[in-house]
Amino acid sequence: MIQVDVEEERKEILKRYRRLLRHAKPVLKPGDAKFIKQAFNVSLEAHKDMRRKSGEPYIYHPLEVALICVEEIGLGTTSIVAALLHDVVEDTDWELEDIEREFGPKVMTIIDGLTKISGVFEYGSSQQAENFRKMLLTLSDDVRVILIKIADRLNNMRTLGSMPRHKQLKISSETMYLYAPLAHRLGLYAIKSELEDLYLKYTDTDTYKDIVDKINESKSYRNKFIKSFIQPIEEELTRQGFKFSIKGRPKSVYSIYNKMKKQGIPFEEVYDLFAIRIILESELESEKADCWQVYSIVTDFYKPNPDRLRDWISTPRSNGYESLHTTVMSNTGQWVEVQIRTDRMDEIAERGYAAHWKYKDSSGKSNSGLDDWITQVRSMLESNDGNAIEFMDDFRGNLFHEEVFVFTPKGDLKVLPFGASALDFAFEIHTEIGARCIGAKVNQKLVPINQKLKNGDQVEILTSSKQRPNEDWLNSVVTSRAKAKIKDALREEKKSAILDGREIVQRKLKQMKMDFNSETIEKLRAYFELKTANEFYYRVGKGTIDPTSIKSFKDFKENQKLKHKAIQEKVKDESSFTKEIKSLKGPDHDQLLIGEDMDVVDYILAKCCNPIPGDDVFGFVTVNEGIKIHRTSCPNALELLSNHGNRVIKARWTSQKEIAFLAGLHIVGTDRVGLINDVTKVISNELKVNMRSITVDSDAGIFEGTIKLYVHSTEHLDKLMNNLSQVEGIIKVSRFD
């Protein structure tokens, strides 16, 4: 039992509360402090007997969330009150009606949006996706729901260290799946970067520590470098009478990791490891001219990379971000990213949505990009009556990062997500134009509707009254607006096919003496590898799935029953797995031991990522194939952990020296006579490893090859990779899934 010093805790709670009030002071109107105090007292009383996993009083959490809302997002009193009360309805006896009576309808609406859905969910559906959908639906009423939820998630991620491993994986993956892209979309760059860094910290701790150590090692060199880099710029800016500040900062850990992974390079080869930010004090009407003048000064001293100039001042990003970016070559031969912006732009970049309102009011300058996006999301939310996972896919497609700027025939600018087609553009102009689109002219040239658009394209849409949207159109668009409108048009036609399909399936199951219920349908959906039950019905109704093939599902199911142990029938999710394993192996067992528990529970290693002993893994309870073991870095992990976290179970390796696992290596080098011979010698003779296949390609003196071989563990694989990289001519050896 942890000994608690009640008096010390009381002092700490008051200290945190006062800190919150101190930060909130600039935004408080008369009477607000009393309103906040009332919310604090209600929250303190409601959570008085609750503690967090770390052992701290639960009230620390709502206090920290409220502080993030004020200090890091820039929200006001209503949000502070809602943040203090955000868990009261979910965790205590308080009802939404009580909140409305005491704190008014605005606070009640926000808290309703933040409260998870309780109750029983249909077998195979995703409670997480349903909760995401409920929260996102409130975007229509109040954006503050999402902003407070992001603050809540940031505090959860900052305190994730005290959670068990499988919960860390689930929460981190949800964060990366939805909350980091949402923070990016709402312009909260500082929060987005921290969420990504924390995701990496908990899902790939070794890589995270390695990058942090390397950033710290180079700190003194970096500071010296930045000092000498900015000195001539500072002198010239001062001489020309600018008021400014210059910050030098390393790239975030996650963005460095991303670059290393995408380009397959070590830390030392990431070329723009740090960025310099020049922030000017400037009047609104001269902002643009001032930023370009500073650009001119920077490029007088350092040569810019012409491919790396980004002008987000003339055309701000659709989340309102404004800045001028260039990458220049320093005198020591290193690339440095330079960002030039004003105080106003900097606050919008750091604080996103909340800062927009402040500047919109004072300057009259509209933040139409964000308003347009929220309007778009609203229309998508209103028209979406599909299942929650499908909804999440559509919504995430709307959280695009890159954009293209294109023009109408009259020269109006339209901002679309990267990868948008002529058909996306047509729906952007008007729903009817989209639905009747037969082609387009891009820069006066005739192109098909799926033509991808590039920056600066001028687009004219061609229509025909006979044209109708079809299923294939969904593969030609990326915007949620276009997808939603096409789905609307298809839905009517689809409804009758779904009803036909449902009837056929019902008849077929009756003939085969099988129950027609949500569990059977979910298993059929998984067997035919479709995303939703309606999709399955639709394909049966349309005849693309032959009703007789449902018979093969029954045979498959019979075989599965013979193959799987009795426990498999009882295990549906994490809680039922834990209960079963404890009853079979004793109260101390709550995880799957890979290599030991085969006699108790069936599991297979997932083919999408081929885990081997030593890999960081988790178990996933599938609908049809028992438990599958995935690597935490598996390409499918993010979606599985985010939408089906309740089916994730703890799993770890036991020693399996005698078993061999398949792994893949990718080798790059300079070609020479005898190279293949030396590579196979290392694999077969030195380490006695069995190879399954080797493919080699040589072009203009560069050698590239892939090898599939059997190893015992990651340690074994690392040793092999190390030995191979010593072979003369080999430049790089990397593992692939």
| Whole-number Å distance between alpha carbons of 422 and 7 | 66
Nearest to 307 by CA among 323, 322, 326: 326
Residues 316 and 379 sit within 8 Å (Cβ to Cβ): no
Residues 128 and 645 sit within 8 Å (Cβ to Cβ): yes
Residue 295 token pair = 């650009």
Strand order in the sheet with 459-463: 445-447, 437-442, 459-463
Residues in a beta bridge with 413: 407
Strand locations in 399-555 (E): 403-407, 413-417, 437-442, 445-447, 459-463
Which ranges in 518-573 belong to alpha helices (H)?
518-527, 533-542, 549-563, 566-570
| Whole-number Å distance between alpha carbons of 335 and 275 | 9
- For CA atoms 524, 529, 533, 538, give the dihedral sign: negative
- At 477, give phi and psi (nearest 5°): -125, 155
91 catalytically annotated: yes
User: Distance between terminal CA atoms of the chain?
Assistant: 45
Q: Which one of the listed residues 56, 72, 87, 91 is annotated catalytic?
A: 91
Between CA 176 and CA 182, with CA 177 as vertex, the angle to 5 degrees is: 85
Which ranges in 58-179 belong to alpha helices (H)?
60-68, 77-85, 88-91, 96-103, 105-114, 127-137, 144-158, 165-174
DSSP 600: T
- CB under 8 Å to 282, separation ≥6 — which residues? 290, 291, 342, 343
97 catalytically annotated: no
Residue 154: HSE in the Cβ half-sphere, 13 Å Cα cutoff: 27
Q: Which one of the listed residues 56, 71, 90, 281 is annotated catalytic?
A: 90
In this structure, the dihedral spanned by the alpha carbons of residues 53, 55, 58 and 63, taken in order and rounded to 10 degrees, is -100
Active-site amino acid positions? 90-91
